[in-house]
Amino acid sequence: MISFGTSGWRAVIADEFTIHNVRRVAQAVADYLFSEQKTFPSKEIIIGYDTRFMSEDFGKVAAEIFAANGFFVSYSNDAVPTPTIACEIIRRKAAGGINITASHNPPQYNGIKFSPSWGGPALPETTRLIEENCRAIENNPNAIKIVAFDDAVKAKKITVRSFKKTYFTRIEQLIDFDAIRRSKLHITADVMHGAARGYLDELLENNRIPHIAINTNRDCLFDGHRPEPNGEHLARLVSMVKSHTRTFGVATDGDADRFGIIDIDGTYIAPNDILAVLLDHLVRTRKWNGVAARSVMTSSFIDAVAQYHGVAMRETPVGFKYIGDILIKEPLIIGGEESAGLTIRGHVPEKDGILAGLLVAEMVAMSKKSVRAIINELSKKVGTFLTARMNYRLSDDAVRGIKTMFANNPPKTIAGNHVAKLVTLDGYKCVFDSGEWVGIRLSGTEPVVRCYIEAHSKKALTVLQHAMQTMIQTQK
């Protein structure tokens, strides 16, 4: 059963993520694109891959299917960030693109992200059709067309290319590298053995920003942990930042669409805070107005900043596809998620960890302040927002129990807080009279239930954490 989650299809290598299943998914995407030919007649497809085990080989497997189906394939000559593929889809007016990646998942996983011609992650109405095509192919394996990679290269059906140039130009238009250079800020870039190697470090090098890049070698085991740039996995970056003065740390995940920020004193800064300070930075430095967007379990710190600047806020289910969709349709200033994804006006409708890290560096350089100092100043104006996220591996019965409880008898109070609003955009979010809230939902990328909490004080955060833990544990 091949199913697309929050972003793409992900599965354990050699279990479900096999050459056969990659062929099935590629054929299913090709069939989908054929069905779209009336509205978008391009015959070009972009194929990239990350640094995971055999990703380039799985990419070739997919390229063989698209070429056999009559598509012209632009196949990346190296591991490539997901946002770079988005850029290339748009520039070449391609029918779409796929990236062989399992993003931030553990090393045992691989996956396929598919983006249609608009460049953002496919929306559910698209992935549903691809899933249906996969099922149809299962019953008719002869439906899979294949041509050998080398033969397709000779026949000019597949062209091996670098996608760097357009992407670098775009980033250089969006980021004030002169300001970073003038500030003499030193950047330590941790690419976590992922697809930002040769991208983030080269951009810094080309723009003469003093920097050190770490974890640039390919390591399919990602140092034994998943390539997720959060507080748990950036110990080396933290110690590098702490041991150098005026050094700021930026990190990117396996396919370089997520960011991690280490402030100049070596502390990890949560993406929720980064979204809020960047909205403020963009409004002040670019003089942009319009709308901002965040997914439902993202902190309302950014809402408070939006309100302060008279910017409208859009709330979406979890998944960058929904934020990308807003960027296409509305004058978006910034859109982001608590899971460390963001994009801004003028960029692709896909999250970009490289852009995010450089933008925060620009903000630090221009303000000559630490990120923490900027957060504290902003909090004085708009309020304090503290957040926590817990992940639980629960039995199917426990998950059913939680769903039934919220669907049939949602709590009226939690830890003495009256639930003023129940938001059901994605999972369940209980918003209290104070504006503090708790949320619970099933992850679409990992086999876990996620619980999110936001409070205005440490005490309230701890109380709500305990209350949610108890609520979840009673379901076990």
- From 38-46, 309-317, 333-341, 415-423, span contacting ligand G16 (CB under 6 A): 333-341
**Single-letter amino acid code for the residue at 418:** H
Among 318, 354, 449, 453, binds ligand G16 (CB under 6 A): 318
The two three-digit tokens of residue 37, written as one number: 């030919």
Nearer to ligand G16, 249 or 353 (CB): 353
Of the candidates 105, 365, 373, 170, the one whose C-alpha atom is nearest the C-alpha of residue 250 is 365
Note whether 317 binds ligand G16 by CB under 6 A. no
Told to check if 99 binds ligand G16 by CB under 6 A, we report: no
Number of residues that bind ligand G16 (CB under 6 A): 18
Among 7, 183, 188, 379, binds ligand G16 (CB under 6 A): 7
Identify the H or E element spanning 75. Answer: strand 72-76
Q: Which stretch binds ligand G16 (CB under 6 A): 194-202, 241-249, 334-342, 413-421?
A: 334-342
Nearest distance in Å: CB 131, ligand G16 = 17
39/125 with CB nearer ligand G16: 125
Distance CA 262, CA 411 (A): 38
Provide the minimum distance between the beta carbon of 339 and ligand G16 in the complex, in angstroms, as a whole number: 4
Shortest separation between residue 244's beta carbon and ligand G16, angstroms: 29
**Residue (92 or 104) nearer to ligand G16, CB:** 104
- Element at 260 (helix H, strand E): strand 259-262
From 147-155, 183-191, 203-211, 438-446, span contacting ligand G16 (CB under 6 A): 438-446
Please state the closest distance from residue 144 (CB atom) to ligand G16, in A. 27
Residue nearest to ligand G16 (CB): 7
Tell me how far, at minimum, the Cβ of 304 lies from ligand G16, in Å.
Answer: 21
**Spatial distance between the Cα atoms of 65 and 346, rounded to a whole number of angstroms:** 33
Options 49, 167, 301, 320; binder of ligand G16; rule CB under 6 A = 320
Name 420's Cβ contacts closer than 8 Å, sequence gap at least 6: 431, 432, 433
Binding residues among 224-263 for ligand G16 as defined by CB under 6 A: 253, 257-258
Residue 339 binds ligand G16 (CB under 6 A):
yes
- The secondary element (H helix, E strand) that includes residue 364 is helix 353-367
- 476/393 Cα distance (integer angstroms): 10
How far is CA 404 from each of CA 212, 296, 392, 408, 470, rounded to the nearest angstrom? 51, 21, 18, 6, 17
By CB under 6 A, residue 333 contacts ligand G16: no
297 φ/ψ angles, rounded to the nearest 5 degrees: -95, 15
Q: Which stretch binds ligand G16 (CB under 6 A): 89-97, 126-134, 337-345, 467-475?
A: 337-345
Shortest separation between residue 310's beta carbon and ligand G16, angstroms: 27
Q: Are 412 and 419 in contact (CB under 8 A)?
A: yes
Residue 341, helix vs strand vs coil = strand
d(CA 476, CA 474): 6
Is residue 127 a contact residue for ligand G16 (CB under 6 A)? no
Burial group, residue 142, by CB count within 10 angstroms (0-12, 13-18, 19+): exposed
Residue 457 CB, shortest distance to ligand G16, in Å, is 26
Residues 445-467: b if buried by 16+ CB within 10 A, e if exposed: bbeebbbbbbbeeeebbebbbeb
Residue 325 contacts ligand G16 per CB under 6 A: no
Query: Among 450, 451, 452, 453, which residue interacts with ligand G16 (rule: CB under 6 A)?
Result: 450
Region 196-215 residues binding ligand G16, contact defined as CB under 6 A: none
CB of 76 within 8 A of CB of 87? no
What is the contact surface with ligand G16 in residues (CB under 6 A)?
6-7, 103-104, 253, 257-258, 318-320, 337, 339, 341, 443-446, 450
